[in-house]
A and B are shown apart, each in its own frame.
Chain A
Amino acid sequence: MLERSGFPSLLAALRQHGYRVVGPTIRDGAIVYGDIREESDLPIGWTDRQDAGKYRLERRADRALFGYAVGPHSWKKYLFPAHERLWTAVRTDASFAVRPEPVEGPPLAFLGVRACEMAAIDISDRVFGKAGDPAYSAHRRGSLRVAVQCGQAGGTCFCASMGTGPGVRKGFDLALTEILSPGRHYFLVEVGSREGAAVLSGLPLAPASQTDTAAAEAVVARTAASMGRSMDAGGLRDLLVNNPEHPRWEIVARRCLSCTNCTMACPTCFCNTSEEVPDLSGERTERWRRWDSCFNSGFSALHGASVRSSTKSRYRQWLAHKLGTWHDQFGTSGCVGCGRCITWCPVGIDITEEVAALRLPAPPPAEKKP
C-alpha cells in the first residue's frame, strides 16, 4: 500500500534505479506517452471521453492520477519507433563497412501500462522475437513494466471480450491499483518481479489489509462491467478466414479512407518498410525503417503494381490477419481490445461492429428479374 502522498517517492525510486520513466501526459488535447519527470507531468484530474472517430479530454470530479483509458499513442513508439536508423554503411578503399546503430540511453520504465497494453507488448515480444529483431530487443531489454489496473473503461474498450483485461494478472514488474475512497486516495501495489521489488525497497509502504485488497478487486470488477464495446470472440479465426467474399467488405470499403490511422494507432500492428538513404556523394548510405501499413497501395506492390489495389481488399487483409491468420502465425489473436482503431478512425469504422456484421449470414444474391 502506497498513500497518494508517497507517489512521488515511486517516481524518484524509478529514476534512482537508473530508469528513464515514460508514461501518460497531456499534449494537444489528448493523453499521449512522453517523459515523466515529476508527478505533475501526469494527467491529474483528467479523463477522456471516447467514441468511434471521436476523442475529448474532460475534467474529472476527483484528482485521480490514472483516471482515463488509453490514448492515441502506445508503447510501441518506444519499442518499435516510427522511424529508426538500423545501420550505416560507409565506403572503404576496396569495399564498404556496415556499422550497426547503437542503442544508447538508460532502460525504460513504462509507467501506467494497462492490461490490454501488457497483452500487446507480450504479442510484440513474440512477433519481433520470432523475427529475431535486434533493434526491438535492444529497446525492450531491461525495461520495466509498471502496470495500472484500469479504474474506468473507455467508450471504445472491449478488452473483457478479448480476454486481455481489464485486470493485469501476470508479466508485470509492479502493478498499481488506484483507490479513491471518501477521504482517502491510495494505491495497492503488487510486485511481479525482482526488479520491481528492488524499486520498492525504501518506499513508505504499509501492508495491505483485506479491505484494501477487496477495494482493489472491486475497482477492476467495476471496470469490467462498464466496457464501452464488446465483441463475440468465439471462432473468430474461422469466421475471418472463411468469409473472403462476404458482402460486408464492400460496405465497409465505401466508408474506409485507406488512411492507415487504425494500423498506426494499433499497439500490435508491426508492418514496416526499410529504405536506403544514400547521400549524394555515394560514399555513405543509411538503412532506415519506418512504420508502414497494409492500407497503403505501395505496401503490396510487387513488380510495380499493387496486389491489393482496392480498399476492400486492404480492409479485409487487415481484419483477416489481425483476428484470423494471426492465430496461425503467432498463436493468439492480434487484437487486444484496446479500442484505438475505433476511436482514431476519422470516419469511426468500428471493428466490433464489422465483426458483428460479418457474423450475419450473407444475404442470398438478389434474384434476377425475368
Chain B
Amino acid sequence: MTPPHKPRLGVFKFASCDGCQLTLLDCEDELLAVAGAVEIAEFHEATSAGVDGPYDVALVEGSVTTADDARRIREIRAQTRTLVTIGACATAGGIQALRNFADVEEFRRVVYARPEFIQTLGTSTPIRDHVPVDFELRGCPIDKHQLLEVISAFLGRRSPNVPTESVCIECKRRGNVCVLVAHGTPCLGPVTQTGCGAICPAFHRGCYGCFGPQDTPNAASLVGKLEELGMARPAVARVFRTFNALAPPFREAADAAAKEAVAP
C-alpha cells in the first residue's frame, strides 16, 4: 500500500528553547524511517530549506509572544490539515508565561541595553488561544516515544495512544517508593499527566508538573496536603506556575494560593 503522495510534515518554532524540536532530532534512527515515509518541510533545526504549505501534519513548538507570532500561526493553521502543538510552551504558555504575572515593561527596561528594539506582547500564550489545535503533546520537554507515536498516528490517520492519567501510576509501575508518603517531599505527581516515566520521583525528587494537568486533576486536595507538609502559600503558587502556568487547573490552584497568601 503506497500512499498517493508522501505526507508533508511541517515543524514550526515560536517562543521556546528548541528543546522539543531537539527531541525530534534525538529520534535519529526512527527519524530516518520518518524521513523516508514523509517529506519534512520547515524544519529549521534540521535543514535550512523552508517549503511552503500545505502540510498534512504541522508540529508547532513554542508560545505566542509577539504580534508577528500571532499572525504567523494563523497562516500555518490555514495551510495545515492536522495541527499538533508540542511541549509546555505551545500548550500552556511555558516558563515565559510567568511574564503574565509580572510587569513586562519593567523587564524590558532592566534587561535590555536598547529596550526600544524589543517588540513584545505583554503575555505569552498557548497556540490554542489563537487557532484551533488538533492535538496537544505535553511535556517540558516532550517525550521522544510519545512524539514518534503522535507522528506515526497522525500520518497513519489514527488517534495517538498518549495516556492522560497521573504520574503516580507510572511511578508505581516502576516500583518507585513514593517520595510524598515515605519522605514527606512535596510532589505534583497526583495532579500531573504521565509521560515522563516518573523520572523525578525515581531520583528522590517530587514531580515538578512538566507534563501539565492529568485529565481529572484535584489540585485543591493536593494543595491541602502540600500545606500539611509545610509548604507556604507563596511556594504553592510558585510550584503551579513553573512550566504550565496557564493550564487552567494549575492556574486556578496558583491563583487561589497567591490570593490567600496576600490576604490578611
Q: In this assembly, does B30 line the interface, its C-beta being within 8 Å of a C-beta of chain A?
A: yes
Determine the chain B residues whose CB is within 8 A of the CB of A56 once the complex forms: 182
User: Interface size class for chain B?
Assistant: 35 or more
Interface pick from A14-22, A102-110, A165-173, A293-301: A293-301
Contact among B152, B174, B191 with A280 in the assembled complex (CB-CB below 8 Å)? B152
Determine the chain A residues whose CB is within 8 A of the CB of B37 once the complex forms: 280
B168 x A264 contact (CB < 8 A): yes
Determine the chain A residues whose CB is within 8 A of the CB of B161 once the complex forms: 275
Q: In this assembly, does B166 line the interface, its C-beta being within 8 Å of a C-beta of chain A?
A: yes
Determine the chain A residues whose CB is within 8 A of the CB of B34 once the complex forms: 280
Q: In the bound complex, what is the Cα–Cα distance between A292 and B172 (angstroms)?
A: 11
Determine the chain B residues whose CB is within 8 A of the CB of A256 once the complex forms: 218, 221
A297 x B182 contact (CB < 8 A): no
Q: In the complex, which residue of chain A has the Cβ closest to the Cβ of B37?
A: A280
**Residue among A53, A56, A257 with most chain B CB within 10 A:** A257
Chain B nearest CB: distance from A260 CB in Å? 4
Determine the chain A residues whose CB is within 8 A of the CB of B174 once the complex forms: 82
A293 x B169 contact (CB < 8 A): yes
Interface residues of B in 174-227 (CB under 8 A from A): 174-178, 180-184, 187, 189-191, 204, 214-218, 221-222, 224-225
Q: In the bound complex, what is the Cα–Cα distance between A255 and B220 (angstroms)?
A: 8
Q: In the complex, which residue of chain B has the Cβ closest to the Cβ of A71?
A: B177
Chain B nearest CB: distance from A71 CB in Å? 8
Q: In the bound complex, what is the Cα–Cα distance between A291 and B165 (angstroms)?
A: 12
Determine the chain B residues whose CB is within 8 A of the CB of A72 once the complex forms: 172, 177-178, 181-182
Closest 7 CB pairs of A and B: A264-B172, A82-B173, A259-B190, A28-B177, A257-B190, A30-B177, A259-B168
Residues of chain A whose beta carbon lies under 8 Å from any beta carbon of chain B: 27-30, 32, 53-57, 72-73, 77, 82-83, 254-261, 264-265, 275, 280-281, 290-293, 296-298, 309, 311, 343-347
Would you give 21 A-B contacts (Cβ < 8 Å), ordered by A? Answer: A29-B182, A30-B177, A32-B177, A53-B181, A55-B182, A72-B181, A77-B175, A254-B218, A256-B221, A258-B218, A259-B169, A261-B178, A264-B173, A280-B148, A292-B169, A296-B169, A344-B178, A346-B187, A346-B190, A346-B225, A347-B221
